[in-house]
């Protein structure tokens, strides 16, 4: 005999509460495993395709690992040094940028920058805080043995977790499928398929969008002569995963740097602004519709809310699980709405074929 609905709700509610508690208490410990699992999920279709070409699962996984390692090494040798130099240069240039900004505000809005004004006090307080805490924070991060150990553990554990999860992915899915409650297995499989379709379509497509836009912004900004073009393009591309944030942050950073570097050369500043305008046009009208599509069911506002809420509650680990959880909620909400529209609560008496819907129908039926 199947469990009563109330007991089932209790069991699933307790399971969800335990999962939330584990994420809250063991977030830092779970981080490498979540990242490794996400990468394995991302690469599983490639491994399946290699299996269809005749390779064994072990050989397909090993081939993917070797190719990924080679790509990371090439990327680290070719791009990472330049990116690091630009990051260091930007940090060193930041005081000069702040000084020029203060001078511009003083000459343009003298009343706003007078001693005792709100803006002047805010800028002074911000500068003092950066001077007081910036060096201390940087020294703490560099000298913290625990930070170094965590970084090494993360770098070592993530590839190992990814390899073994990718190797055993199909086996794990089959074992989980065998444990599904028999009464609800078809429904759970259907929901799981829908969640996988939404999640894979969004994540794989959005990662491709981030890489394409990051490469476009970096190459175009460097071609325009912007000193920190690679860094600004990389930041804009990475943040494109969050709707609207990548364009706003990357565009503001690039245009701000262009104003500092090309002040008076409005043509160059306009070119930098035009690069982001073109990038946004391509993203909204060409790249995202082709790679992500409109059928994944993750509204940008819902995604922003999920990332903000889970990031606040669980930190970086929460941001990692925000996308799959939001995809799952979206599928479950659509499933609930579908059943609601088929039920008596929504259809009422009008939904019954043998129930009269008007007074005249009721009179004729009674007669």
Compute φ and ψ for 116, nearest 5 degrees. Answer: 100, -10
pLDDT band at 141 (very low <50, low <70, confident <90, very high): very low
Tokens encoding 183: 């009464």
Look at residue 243 and tell me if it is in a domain: yes
Look at residue 354 and tell me if it is in a domain: no
d(CA 248, CA 321): 24
Which of 27-41, 138-152, 260-274, 312-326 is the least confident region? 138-152
Residue 194 has pLDDT above 80, yes or no: yes
d(CA 118, CA 65): 56
Q: Are residues 128 and 269 in the same domain?
A: no
Q: Tell me the per-residue pLDDT of 36-71, one tens digit each, with 9 for 90 and over.
A: 888 888 889 889 999 999 889 999 999 998 998 888
Q: Are residues 112 and 206 in the same domain?
A: no
Q: Are residues 141 and 207 in the same domain?
A: no
pLDDT higher at 94 or 278: 278
d(CA 356, CA 362): 5
Could you list the residue range(s) of the whole structural domain that residue 27 is in?
A: 23-169
Tokens encoding 256: 């701000």
Q: Tell me the per-residue pLDDT of 259-315, one tens digit each, with 9 for 90 and over.
A: 878 877 888 888 988 988 898 888 878 887 777 665 556 677 777 788 788 878 777
d(CA 284, CA 247): 11
d(CA 46, CA 69): 16
pLDDT band at 122 (very low <50, low <70, confident <90, very high): low
DSSP state letter for 358: S
pLDDT higher at 108 or 367: 108
3-state secondary structure of 294: coil
Structurally, the chain folds into a number of domains equal to 2
Contacts of 107 (CB under 8 A, 6+ apart): none
Contacts of 264 (CB under 8 A, 6+ apart): none
Note the pLDDT of residue 59.
92
Residue 212 has pLDDT above 80, yes or no: yes
Lookup result for tokens 């035009």:
274
Note the pLDDT of residue 154.
73
Q: Are residues 164 and 197 in the same domain?
A: no
Look at residue 13 and tell me if it is in a domain: no
Residue 224 has pLDDT above 80, yes or no: yes
Note the pLDDT of residue 71.
83
Residue 150 has pLDDT above 80, yes or no: no
Q: Are residues 46 and 137 in the same domain?
A: yes
Which of 100-109, 190-199, 357-366 is the least confident region? 357-366
Q: Are residues 157 and 304 in the same domain?
A: no
Q: In the predicted model, what is the mean pLDDT of residues 344-362? A: 59
DSSP state letter for 242: S
Look at residue 333 and tell me if it is in a domain: yes
Look at residue 178 and tell me if it is in a domain: no
Q: Are residues 155 and 36 in the same domain?
A: yes
Compute φ and ψ for 112, nearest 5 degrees. Answer: -75, -25
Q: What is the average pLDDT value for the chain, to the nearest integer?
A: 77
3-state secondary structure of 322: helix
Note the pLDDT of residue 62.
92
Q: Are residues 152 and 257 in the same domain?
A: no
């Amino acid at each position: 005999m199947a469990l009563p609905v109330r007991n089932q709700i209790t069991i699933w509610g307790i399971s969800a509460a335990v999962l939330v508690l584990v994420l809250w208490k063991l977030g830092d410990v779970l981080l490498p495993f979540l990242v490794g699992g996400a990468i394995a999920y991302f690469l599983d279709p490639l491994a399946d395709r290699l299996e269809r070409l005749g390779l064994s699962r072990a050989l397909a996984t090993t081939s993917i690992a070797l190719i990924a390692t080679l790509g990371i090494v090439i990327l680290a040798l070719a791009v990472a040094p330049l990116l690091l130099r630009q990051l260091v240069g930007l940090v060193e240039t930041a005081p000069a940028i702040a000084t020029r900004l203060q001078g511009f505000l003083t000459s343009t809005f003298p009343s706003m920058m007078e001693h005792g004004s709100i803006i002047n006090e805010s800028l002074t307080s911000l500068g003092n805080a950066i001077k007081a805490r910036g060096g201390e924070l940087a020294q703490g991060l560099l000298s913290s043995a625990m930070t170094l150990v965590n970084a090494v553990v993360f770098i070592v554990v993530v590839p190992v977790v990814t390899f073994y999860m990718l190797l055993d992915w199909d086996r794990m899915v089959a074992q989980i499928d065998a444990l599904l409650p028999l009464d609800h297995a078809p429904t759970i499989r259907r929901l799981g398929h829908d969640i996988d379709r939404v999640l894979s379509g969004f994540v794989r497509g959005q990662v491709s969008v981030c890489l394409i836009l990051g490469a476009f912004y970096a190459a175009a900004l460097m071609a325009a002569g912007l000193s920190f073009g690679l860094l600004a393009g990389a930041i804009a591309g990475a943040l494109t995963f969050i709707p609207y944030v990548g364009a706003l942050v990357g565009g503001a950073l690039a245009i701000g740097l262009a104003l500092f570097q090309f002040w008076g050369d409005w043509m160059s500043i306009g070119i930098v602004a035009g690069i982001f305008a073109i990038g946004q046009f391509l993203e909204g009208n060409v790249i995202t519709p082709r790679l992500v599509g409109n059928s994944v069911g993750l509204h940008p506002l819902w995604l922003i809310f999920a990332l903000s809420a889970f990031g606040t509650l669980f930190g970086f680990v929460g941001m990692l699980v925000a996308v799959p959880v939001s995809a799952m909620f979206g599928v479950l909400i659509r499933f609930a709405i579908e059943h609601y529209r088929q039920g008596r609560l929504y259809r009422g008496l009008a939904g019954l074929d043998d129930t009269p819907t008007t007074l005249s129908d009721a009179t004729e039926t009674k007669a």
